[in-house]
C-alpha cells in the first residue's frame, strides 16, 4: 500500500508539472481550432449541445454521428418526427399509430420499444418520463418546432448518460433571432389534418427571446383522432462579456384516442378493417410542463463553465377498455372482433376499463467545465462535470365498471423514487497535427425505492387486494469507461475508432417486486466497438462508413404490454447478445460541385446489422433454445435515400424512399403469423414520398405539396403492443411557410 501511495503522489506531481493553462503559453502548436473545441458555446443560446454545427466538427468527433439540419426539414416536409430521423443510419424507427405521437427507436438492432435504449434529449435536457427508473418515450417533441437533430453513437455517449447502450439523440428547438422575426407555418391534409406553428422573436439590447405556439389536430387519420398544443419560450440574457444565461419554459398538451389493441391476423387478411376503432372509448391525455435555466461563464480564454438546472413533470392517465380472447369471459359488451371460428383470433370486448394513471417528476442540476491546457507541449482539452438528478413516479391502476369509465376501484397504488449521482470526465489530447486521442470515464450511482400502498398479493392460493405500506430499495453503481481515436488523413478525410461500456440502469418497477423482493435484475451492460471513415466537404459532399460490434453481457428484454406481452410485466435478464454490422451515409450536391446556383442532391443512409442471442437461453413451455436466433424487431437491412433539386427561380422537389427488411417479432423467430396478430414475420417494405416546393425569397414565403406513401403501399408497421398496426395509406398534405 505504501508503495502504491508513493507512485500515486509521484503521478500527481508529474501532472502538475506537465499540465499548464493554455493562456499565456505559446499556442502555435495548438492544432484544434477554438471554434471547434468550444463545445460549450456552439450556439449563441446558452444550452447543452451534444455535437454542434460548426466547421471542422466531422474531423473532431471520435465516433459516428449524424447532423440533421434545418434545410432537411424544408426539403422533406416531414409529417412526423419518425420521417425526419430515419435519415440517420443505424436507427430502426418503428411506427405505432402512424402519425408519430409516440416515437419508437431501436439502435443497431436494439429493441425499439418506447426508445428505452436511447438517451433522448431536447436542447440537452432529458425528455423521457424518468431518465433512470422509467426511460420511456410516451410522447414525441412536435416536429414543427424542431430546428435540428444530433445523433451521436460511439464512445462520446458516456459524457451524457445514463443510457450509453445505443445513442444520444438531441432535438434542438428554435433559438432567439438576432433581429425581429415572425414565423408562420401552416399545413393541412386528409382526415381533418391541420397543423399551425407561429413564433415571434427579437433581440433588444442584451436580451433575446422567442415565443412559439403550435397546434395540430386530426379527426380521422388512420384510426386516430387527436389534438395537441405545444407552447413555450426561450430567453437569452448577456450578463457581461463573459457571462450569459438562457431560460426555457414550455408546456405540451395532447389528447388522443390512442390504444394498445390492434387487429387480428384474419382482420388484416380481410383487408377492409385496417383502421377500425376496436375500443372507441380509449383515451390518452398527456400533459408535460418543463423548464430549464443555463448559465455560461467564460472564466478565462482557457476555462469555461456551464451550469444547467432543469425540472419537468409529465402526467399520463390512460383509459383503456378491457378485452379478452376467452369467449366465456364475464362482463362482455357483445362486440366481437376477428374470426370466432379460428382459435385465438377472436377478441371479446368487455364492459370494464383499466385506467393507468401515472405522474412523473424530474429535477436535476449539472455543471460542466472545459479546460484547454498543454500537456508536455501537446494541446489538450479536459471536459468534466457532475450531476444530481431526482425522479419520482406516482402510479395508480383504477378499474372502471363501464367500458369508458375513468373512475372506479383502485387496484394498484405505488410511488417509486430515485436519486442519481453522476461524475464524468473526458480528455482529448492532440498527439500531432493529424492524431488525437479521447478518453473518458463516467461514474453512475443510482439509489432507488419502491413504496407500495395497495396491490394484489397471493394469499391462500389466490390474488387478493390489500392496503399496505411495503417499501423496498436497492442501489446500482457503475463505472463506464470509453476511449476513441481520430486520425485526419487530410483536410477532408478522417479515420476514427472507439470502444466504450454500454450501460442502462434497471427500471425500478421491474427490479423490485410487488412483494418487496429484489429480482436482482442486472444493469444492462455491453462492450461497444466501432471504427469508421468520414470524407466531407460540408457544402458539397459527405461520406461516412462505420463498422460496429456490440457485445452484451446482459441485454434486458422487455416483456411489458407495450412490447406485446399481455400477461407479463416488466423486463427480464435476456443474457448475452451480439450486434455487428455496417453503416453507410452519403450526400452529394452536384450544384455545388459544378459551382452553379441550382442544387441537385443525392443522399443515402444504409444499415446492415446482425443481432443474435449468443449463448444458450431456453424460453417457452417447450424450452426452445434461442441461441443463434435473431432479436425481435431487428431487421437486417435499413435504407433511406433521396433525390432532389432546387432551381434558382424557386421551384424544388425531393423524392424519398425508405426500405425496411423483414423482421421477427419474438425470440423463437416465428414465421407463421399467430391468430391474434401479435407474433409472426413482418414482411419487408418500400415506402416512397414526394415533396414539391416553391419559394418566393423576396416575400419570405414558400409553398409545398407533400405526398406520403405515394405508391399506397399496404404493410404491417408493427405487431405491437397487442395486435397488428397497419401503416398509413397514401396521404396528401398542403402547406405554406412565411417569415416576416
pLDDT at 40: 35
Which pLDDT tens digit goes with each residue over 135-145? Answer: 988 888 888 88
The region of weakest confidence among 79-88, 160-169, 461-470 is 461-470
* Alpha-carbon dihedral sign for residues 404, 409, 412, 414: positive
pLDDT at 60: 73
Q: pTM value?
A: 0.88
Identify which of 135, 37, 143, 148 has the alpha carbon closest to the alpha carbon of residue 427: 37
pLDDT at position 654 over 60: yes
pLDDT at 536: 84
The span from the CA of 265 to the CA of 675, in Å, is 5
pLDDT at position 609 over 90: yes
pLDDT at position 345 over 90: yes
pLDDT at position 614 over 90: no
Find cell 432532389 and name the residue. Answer: 644
Which pLDDT tens digit goes with each residue over 547-598? Answer: 999 998 766 655 545 444 444 444 455 568 899 999 999 999 999 899 999 9
pLDDT at 116: 86
- The phi, psi pair for 590, rounded to 5°, reads -70, -30
| pLDDT confidence band for 520 (50 / 70 / 90) | low
* Alpha-carbon dihedral sign for residues 104, 670, 271, 714: positive
H-state helical runs in 295-411 = none
Q: What angle do CA 704, 710, 716 make, to 5 degrees?
A: 125
pLDDT at 36: 35
Non-local (6+) Cβ contacts of 95 within 8 A are: 82, 104, 717, 718, 725, 727, 728
Q: Which long-range contacts (CB under 8 A, 24 or more apart) does 323-327 make?
A: 323/261, 323/278, 323/279, 323/347, 323/348, 323/349, 323/350, 324/348, 324/350, 325/676
Average the pLDDT over 492-511 and give the result: 84
Non-local (6+) Cβ contacts of 573 within 8 A are: 521, 522, 554, 556, 557
β-strands 125-126, 181-189: how paired? unpaired
Mean pLDDT of the chain: 86
Which pLDDT tens digit goes with each residue over 222-235? Answer: 888 999 999 999 99
The region of weakest confidence among 502-511, 592-601, 608-617 is 502-511
Identify which of 181, 161, 95, 86 has the alpha carbon closest to the alpha carbon of residue 642: 86
pLDDT at 337: 96
The span from the CA of 96 to the CA of 89, in Å, is 20
The span from the CA of 337 to the CA of 444, in Å, is 48
pLDDT at position 19 over 80: no
Q: In the structure grid, which three cell numbers stand for residue 546, read together?
A: 462505420
429 within 8 A of 375, measured Cβ to Cβ: yes
The region of weakest confidence among 162-176, 251-265, 338-352, 391-405 is 162-176
pLDDT at 29: 38
Which pLDDT tens digit goes with each residue over 32-71? Answer: 333 333 333 334 677 777 776 655 666 677 788 888 887 7
Q: Where are the domains of the chain?
A: 2-739
Which pLDDT tens digit goes with each residue over 274-300? Answer: 999 999 999 999 999 999 999 999 999
Residue 694 class from Cβ within 10 Å (0-12 exposed, 13-18 middle, 19+ buried)? middle
Q: What burial letters (b/e) apply to 58-85, b meaning 16+ CB within 10 Å? A: bbbbbbbbbbbeeebbbbbbbbbbbbbb
The DSSP bridge partners found for residue 43 are none
Average the pLDDT over 433-451 and give the result: 92
- Cis amide bond preceding 721, omega within 30: yes
End-to-end Cα separation, the chain, in angstroms: 70
Residue 148 exposure: Cα atoms within 13 Å on the Cβ side: 18
pLDDT at 557: 58
Distances (CA, A) of 437 to 440, 498, 548, 555: 10, 10, 19, 29
pLDDT at position 633 over 60: yes
Share of the chain above pLDDT 90, in %: 62
36 within 8 A of 58, measured Cβ to Cβ: no
pLDDT at 524: 78
The region of weakest confidence among 45-54, 582-591, 600-609, 610-619 is 45-54
pLDDT at 203: 94
The span from the CA of 78 to the CA of 95, in Å, is 14
pLDDT at 7: 37
pLDDT at position 343 over 70: yes
| pLDDT confidence band for 18 (50 / 70 / 90) | very low
- The phi, psi pair for 155, rounded to 5°, reads -70, -20
Which pLDDT tens digit goes with each residue over 413-430? Answer: 999 999 999 999 999 999
The DSSP bridge partners found for residue 224 are 221
Non-local (6+) Cβ contacts of 377 within 8 A are: 29
Taking residue 736's Cβ as centre, other Cβ atoms within 10 Å add up to: 14
Better pLDDT: 336 or 553: 336
pLDDT at 308: 95
The span from the CA of 73 to the CA of 95, in Å, is 19
β-strands 104-107, 193-204: how paired? unpaired
199 within 8 A of 175, measured Cβ to Cβ: no
Identify which of 135, 141, 134 has the alpha carbon closest to the alpha carbon of residue 119: 135
| pLDDT confidence band for 8 (50 / 70 / 90) | very low
Fold of 2-739: Maltoporin; Chain A (2.40.170)
716 within 8 A of 676, measured Cβ to Cβ: no
The DSSP bridge partners found for residue 665 are none
Which pLDDT tens digit goes with each residue over 104-151? Answer: 999 999 989 888 889 999 999 999 999 998 898 888 888 888 888 999
The span from the CA of 126 to the CA of 102, in Å, is 16
Amino acid at each position: 500500500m505504501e508503495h502504491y501511495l508513493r507512485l500515486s503522489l509521484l503521478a500527481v506531481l508529474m501532472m502538475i508539472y506537465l499540465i499548464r493553462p493554455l493562456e499565456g503559453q505559446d499556442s502555435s502548436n495548438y492544432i484544434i481550432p477554438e471554434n471547434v473545441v468550444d463545445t460549450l458555446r456552439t450556439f449563441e443560446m446558452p444550452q447543452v449541445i451534444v455535437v454542434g454545427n460548426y466547421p471542422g466538427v466531422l474531423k473532431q468527433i471520435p465516433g459516428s454521428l449524424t447532423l440533421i439540419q434545418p434545410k432537411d426539414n424544408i426539403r422533406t416536409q416531414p409529417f412526423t418526427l419518425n420521417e425526419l430521423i430515419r435519415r440517420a443510419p443505424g436507427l430502426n424507427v418503428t411506427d405505432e399509430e402512424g402519425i408519430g405521437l409516440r416515437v419508437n427507436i431501436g439502435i443497431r438492432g436494439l429493441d425499439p420499444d418506447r426508445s428505452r435504449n436511447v438517451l433522448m434529449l431536447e436542447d440537452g435536457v432529458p425528455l423521457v418520463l424518468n431518465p433512470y427508473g422509467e426511460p420511456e418515450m410516451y410522447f414525441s417533441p412536435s416536429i414543427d418546432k424542431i430546428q435540428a437533430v444530433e445523433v451521436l453513437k460511439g464512445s462520446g455517449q458516456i459524457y451524457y448518460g445514463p443510457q450509453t447502450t445505443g445513442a444520444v439523440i438531441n432535438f434542438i428547438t428554435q433559438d432567439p433571432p438576432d433581429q425581429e422575426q415572425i414565423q408562420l407555418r401552416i399545413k393541412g391534409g386528409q382526415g381533418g389534418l391541420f397543423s399551425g406553428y407561429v413564433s415571434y422573436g427579437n433581440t433588444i439590447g442584451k436580451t433575446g427571446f422567442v415565443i412559439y405556439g403550435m397546434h395540430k389536430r386530426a379527426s380521422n387519420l388512420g384510426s386516430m383522432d387527436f389534438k395537441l398544443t405545444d407552447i413555450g419560450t426561450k430567453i437569452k440574457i448577456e450578463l457581461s462579456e463573459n457571462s450569459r444565461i438562457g431560460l426555457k419554459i414550455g408546456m405540451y398538451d395532447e389528447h388522443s384516442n390512442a390504444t394498445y389493441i390492434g387487429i387480428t391476423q384474419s382482420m388484416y387478411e380481410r383487408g377492409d378493417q385496417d383502421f377500425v376503432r376496436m375500443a372507441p372509448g380509449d383515451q390518452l391525455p398527456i400533459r408535460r410542463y418543463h423548464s430549464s435555466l443555463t448559465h455560461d461563464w467564460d472564466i478565462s480564454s482557457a476555462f469555461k463553465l456551464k451550469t444547467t438546472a432543469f425540472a419537468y413533470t409529465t402526467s399520463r392517465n390512460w383509459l383503456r377498455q378491457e378485452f379478452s380472447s376467452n369467449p366465456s369471459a364475464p362482463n362482455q359488451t357483445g362486440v366481437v372482433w376477428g374470426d370466432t371460428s379460428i382459435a385465438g383470433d377472436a377478441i371479446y370486448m368487455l364492459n370494464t376499463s383499466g385506467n393507468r394513471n401515472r405522474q412523473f417528476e424530474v429535477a436535476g442540476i449539472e455543471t460542466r467545465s472545459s479546460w484547454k491546457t498543454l500537456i508536455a507541449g501537446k494541446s489538450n482539452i479536459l471536459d468534466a462535470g457532475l450531476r444530481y438528478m431526482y425522479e419520482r413516479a406516482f402510479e395508480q391502476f383504477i378499474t372502471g365498471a363501464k367500458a369508458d369509465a375513468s373512475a372506479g376501484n383502485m387496484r394498484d397504488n405505488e410511488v417509486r423514487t430515485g436519486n442519481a449521482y453522476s461524475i464524468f470526465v473526458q480528455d482529448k489530447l492532440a498527439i500531432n497535427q493529424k492524431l488525437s486521442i479521447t478518453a473518458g470515464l463516467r461514474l453512475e450511482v443510482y439509489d432507488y425505492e419502491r413504496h407500495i400502498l395497495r396491490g394484489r398479493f397471493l394469499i391462500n392460493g389466490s390474488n387478493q387486494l390489500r392496503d399496505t405500506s411495503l417499501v423496498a430499495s436497492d442501489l446500482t453503481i457503475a463505472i463506464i469507461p470509453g476511449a476513441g481515436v481520430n486520425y485526419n488523413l487530410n483536410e477532408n478525410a478522417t479515420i476514427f475508432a472507439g470502444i466504450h461500456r454500454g450501460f442502462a440502469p434497471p427500471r425500478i418497477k421491474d427490479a423490485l417486486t410487488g412483494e418487496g423482493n429484489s429480482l436482482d435484475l442486472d444493469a444492462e451492460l455491453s462492450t461497444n466497438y466501432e471504427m469508421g471513415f468520414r470524407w466531407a466537404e460540408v457544402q458539397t459532399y459527405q461520406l461516412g462508413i462505420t463498422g460496429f460490434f456490440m457485445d452484451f453481457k446482459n441485454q434486458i428484454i422487455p416483456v411489458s404490454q407495450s412490447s406485446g406481452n399481455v400477461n407479463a410485466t416488466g423486463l427480464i435478464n435476456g443474457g448475452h447478445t451480439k450486434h455487428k454490422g455496417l453503416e453507410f451515409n452519403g450526400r452529394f450536391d452536384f450544384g455545388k460541385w459544378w459551382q452553379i446556383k441550382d442544387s441537385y442532391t443525392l443522399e443515402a443512409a444504409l444499415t446492415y446489422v446482425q443481432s443474435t442471442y449468443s449463448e444458450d437461453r431456453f424460453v417457452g413451455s417447450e424450452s426452445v433454445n434461442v441461441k443463434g436466433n435473431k432479436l425481435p424487431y431487428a431487421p437486417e437491412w435499413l435504407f433511406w435515400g433521396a433525390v432532389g433539386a432546387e432551381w434558382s427561380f424557386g421551384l424544388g422537389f425531393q423524392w424519398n424512399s425508405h426500405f425496411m427488411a423483414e423482421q421477427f417479432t419474438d425470440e423463437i423467430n416465428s414465421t407463421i403469423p399467430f391468430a391474434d396478430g401479435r407474433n409472426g414475420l413482418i414482411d419487408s417494405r418500400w415506402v416512397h414520398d414526394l415533396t414539391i416546393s416553391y419559394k418566393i425569397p423576396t416575400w419570405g414565403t414558400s409553398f409545398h405539396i407533400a405526398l406520403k406513401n405515394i405508391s399506397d403501399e399496404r404493410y404491417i408497421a408493427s405487431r405491437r403492443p397487442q395486435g397488428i398496426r397497419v401503416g398509413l395509406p397514401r396521404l396528401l398534405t398542403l402547406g405554406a411557410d412565411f417569415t416576416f
